[in-house]
Amino acid sequence: MITINVSDLLLAFIAALGIPSTIMGLLTWRLKKRIEAAEEEQSQKNNGQKELIMILVQSTRASIALGEATARAVQRIPDAHCNGDMHAALQYATDIKHRQKDFLDRQGIDALLDD
**For 115, which DSSP code?**
-
* Distance (Å) of CA 33 to CA 30, 38, 56: 5, 9, 35
Say what the pLDDT of residue 104 is: 85
CB 82 within 8 A of CB 74: yes
- For the chain, 115 residues long, give each residue's pLDDT as a single digit of tens: 777 788 888 888 888 888 888 889 999 999 999 999 999 999 999 889 888 988 988 898 899 999 989 888 888 887 777 777 888 888 898 899 899 888 888 888 777 666 5
d(CA 2, CA 10): 16
CB 94 within 8 A of CB 68: yes
Coil, strand or helix at 40: helix
